[in-house]
Structure 1
Amino acid sequence: MKYQIIVNKASSIAKYVQIAEVIKKDIEAGRLENGSKLPSINEFSRSHIVARDTVEKAYNSLKRTGYIKGVPGKGNFVAKVYQSQKTLKILIILNKLSSFKKEVYEAFLETMGGRAKVDMQIHHYNVSFFKDIIHETEGEYHYYVVMPHFSAGTSEQSYLEVLNSIQNAGLIVLDKKVELANEVVNVYQDFERDIFEALSVEKEILEKYSGITLIFNKLTNHPEEIIEGVRSFCEMQEKEFNVIEDADKVILKKGTAYITLTDDELAMALKKIKGTKHKLGRDIGILSFNETVLKELLGITVVSTDFSAMGRIAAEMILGKSVQSIRNEFRFIKRNSL
C-alpha cells in the first residue's frame, strides 16, 4: 500500500505525534478505509525517512486509542469501529460572501447532512489572509474546501504554493481549475471556454447586433479569462468588441449587445436604456452573468454556472471518497433582453 505523510521535522510537535494525528484524521475522514492495512514499521520508516522507534510509538499510540489494531504475523490494520462514529471536520474558505457563494455553501451542507461539522472563513481575495488561515488551522480539519480567487495581479504561484502546502488533509478546489503537485478534487468553471461556447451555441440571437461590449471592472476581481472568451467569439463572428471598465461611462450604441458581470452594472445599463428611445432586445441587447430571481422577473438573458451543483458535487466527492476533476455545468438562459 502506498501511503504518504508529510512530517514537519522543524515542528515543536514530536514526530510520532504528527504521524499519529495524520493517520487518525485519515481514518476518520475515510481516506484510510475500514480494515485496510498500514505500511509495516520498517516500510514506513524507510519511505518517510524517520526512525523506526518513532513509527512504532505512533502506531502504539493509535492502538491505545482504538484507531488501529495489530494482528500477530500480519501487521497493523484500521479498526472498523472508528469510521462510522467520527464526524468529519471541514473548513470552507471562500473569496467573498455573496448570494451565489451562499448557494454553494447551502448545497454542500445539505448534501453532507449531519455527517460533518462545517466551518467557514473568508480570504477577501487576499492571498496573505488565505495563507494565514491555512497555517492557523493546520491539523484541525479533515478537509479544506477552497475557492482560490484572488485580487488582480496576484501571482498564480503564490496561491498554488499555499494549496500545495495542504498535505495532511483532503483538499477540494472549487470554481477555478488548478494543477497541483498531488491529485485533488476540483469542481471548476472554465471561464474562457464557458462564455465562448455559450455565445457560440446561441449565436443566432446575437446576429442582430454588430458589436459586443463587455463591462469589466477589474476592481470586482472577476477572472480575466472572460474577456478572452468574449473576444474569441467576436473575432469568429466578425463583430466589433470593446471592453469598458466603468458602467457609468458607457455610451449606449444601437446595434450593440452589452455583457454585465455585476448587478450594479446591470442596473446602470437598464437605467441608461430607459432614458433613450432604444428598445431592449431589439436595438440594444443585455446579457448578464449569474442567475437570480430578479433577473428572471425582469426578463434578462443570463449565462450562469450551477452554483448549487458545485456545492453538491463537492460534498458527494468527499462522501464517496472520490478524487476527480469536474467541469461544472454552465447554462445560457434565453429571455427578452437579447
Structure 2
Amino acid sequence: MDKLIRINEYSKTPKYQQIIDSILSGIERGEIELDSKLPSVNRLLIDFDISRDTIVKAYDRLQKIGVVQSVQGKGYFVKSEDTKRKARVFLLFNKLSTHKKIIYDSLYQTLGDQASIDFYIYNNDFRLFKNYITANLANNFSHFVIITHFLEGGQNAVDIINMIPKNKLILLDKKVDGVVGNFGAVYQAFAKDIYNALTQALEPLKKYTKLKIILPSNSYHPYDIIIGFKDFCTEYAFDHEVVEDISACEIKQGDGFINVMEDDLVTLIKRIKVQDMEVGKDVGIVSYNETPLKEVLLNGITVISTDFKALGKSVGQMILENRREQIANPFQLILRNSL
C-alpha cells in the first residue's frame, strides 16, 4: 500500500495534493480496494519526510469528498470507490510568474474535485521540457496541457509534442507549427492581437512621432508580436523601430514605447525620469500583460493583455467536457494615463 503513494519532489503540485491524487488513482486502477486501510500519518511522515499537517490535510480532503473515513483508534479506510474524477492532467509551464499563477488558479478552480493536476516547470529549457514529457507518456494521464516557450533549442519541440496522443493534447498560450492531428488549443493570436489593440489606441498614439517596441533578441516571446507591430505602423504611417536593448536606446520627446518584458519596463521608466520627461505627455508607454501594480504605477500604465483567467477557465472546461477545439483567447486594451 505504501508504494502506491508517490511524491515527486520535482513536481510543483503541492505534496498534500500528490497524496490525494495517488490514493484516488490507486482506487481508479483497482489497486486500492474498498475498505482498505490507508497508511498511517506517522508512516507517511517517516517515508516521505513531510509535515504531519500536510498528511492530515490530504486525508481531510479525501474525507470531505466521501472517499475516505476515519475510524478512531484504527486509522483511515477507503469508504467509497467513486472518486468522481473525470480527468488526470499533466500540466507543463515554461516558468512561474504572476500571469502563470492566474492561469493555474483559474484552471484549478474550474476543474475542482473532478480532476487531478500533476504540475511541472521546465524554466524555458528544452532539455527539461523533453525529459518531462517523455518520462510521463506512459503514465495514466487523460490530458497533457502544455505551454511552449524556449530561450533556445526549441526547434525540435514539435517532434516531442507529436509523440503525445492528440486526443490528450491541449496547447496553451500559443500554437506550434507542425503539430498535426485533432488536438485542443487555447491560444493567443499574437500578431493579430497587438495589431487590433494598437488600432484601438490609435487616437492617443497619434500624439507621438515615433513608436518603438522593446523586445530583446533572446526573448522567448513570439516574433509574431513584431510582425503585428510593424503591420500596424505601416498601415497608419508611423515611424517605428524595434529596440533590443532599452538601456542603450536613445529616448526622445515624442517617442511612444510598447514594452513586452517586465524588467525592461523598470529600466524604461528610470531612464525617462533621469531625463526629466513626463510619462503620458513627453513619452508614451504601452505595456504587455496586466498586473495590479500597473493600475497604480505613474497614475496608471496603459496595457494590452490577454485574459489570463480566461485561458485557464477555457482549458478546464475543455477537459471536463472532453472537447477538442482551438480557441483564440480574448485580448484587450486598457487605456490609462501613460498614453
**TM-score range with shorter-chain normalisation?**
0.7 to 0.9
* Structure 1 residues 226-280: Cα deviation after superposition (integer angstroms, max 9, x where no partner): 1111111111111111111112112211111011112221111111111223221
Q: Counterparts of 1:1-338 in structure 2 under 5 Å?
A: 85-86=84-85, 88-140=87-139, 141-152=141-152, 154-155=154-155, 158-167=156-165, 170-178=168-176, 180-298=179-297, 299-338=300-339
* Structure 1 residues 63-112: Cα deviation after superposition (integer angstroms, max 9, x where no partner): xxxxxxxxxxxxxxxxxx99974463211101111111111111000000
* Distance in 2 of aligned mates of 1:129 and 1:114: 29
Contact 2:86–2:320 (CA under 8 A) maintained in structure 1: no
- Cα gap change, 1:205 to 1:152, in 2 (>3 Å): farther
Same amino acid, percent of matched pairs: 36
* Distance in 1 of aligned mates of 2:334 and 2:207: 18
* Distance in 2 of aligned mates of 1:233 and 1:83: 55
SS at match of 1:326: strand
What amino acid is aligned across from residue 117 of structure 2 in structure 1? Answer: V
- Gaps of at least 5 residues in structure 2 are 1-24, 29-79
Alpha-carbon distance, 1:152 to partner: 4.6
SS at match of 2:113: coil
What amino acid is aligned across from residue 120 of structure 1 in structure 2? Answer: F
- Gaps of at least 5 residues in structure 1 are 1-24, 29-80
* Distance in 1 of aligned mates of 2:269 and 2:337: 13
Contact 1:95–1:149 (CA under 8 A) maintained in structure 2: yes
Alpha-carbon distance, 1:335 to partner: 0.2
* Structure 1 residues 189-231: Cα deviation after superposition (integer angstroms, max 9, x where no partner): 0111110111112211111011111111133311111111111
* Distance in 2 of aligned mates of 1:128 and 1:225: 24
What amino acid is aligned across from residue 196 of structure 1 in structure 2? Answer: Y
* Distance in 2 of aligned mates of 1:111 and 1:84: 17
What amino acid is aligned across from residue 259 of structure 1 in structure 2? Answer: I
Contact 2:175–2:185 (CA under 8 A) maintained in structure 1: yes
- Cα gap change, 1:328 to 1:168, in 2 (>3 Å): closer
Tell me the equivalent position of 2:77: none
SS at match of 1:313: helix
TM-score, length of structure 2 as denominator length: 0.72
SS at match of 1:101: helix
SS at match of 1:283: coil
Contact 2:287–2:303 (CA under 8 A) maintained in structure 1: yes
Alpha-carbon distance, 1:168 to partner: 7.5
Contact 1:144–1:169 (CA under 8 A) maintained in structure 2: no
SS at match of 1:120: strand
Which is further off, 240-249 or 275-284? 275-284
TM-score, length of structure 1 as denominator length: 0.72
Contact 2:126–2:152 (CA under 8 A) maintained in structure 1: no
Alpha-carbon distance, 1:167 to partner: 1.6
SS at match of 2:218: helix
Tell me the equivalent position of 1:65: none
* Distance in 2 of aligned mates of 1:266 and 1:168: 39
* Distance in 2 of aligned mates of 1:152 and 1:241: 27
Which is further off, 81-90 or 175-184? 81-90
SS at match of 1:277: coil
Contact 1:214–1:243 (CA under 8 A) maintained in structure 2: yes
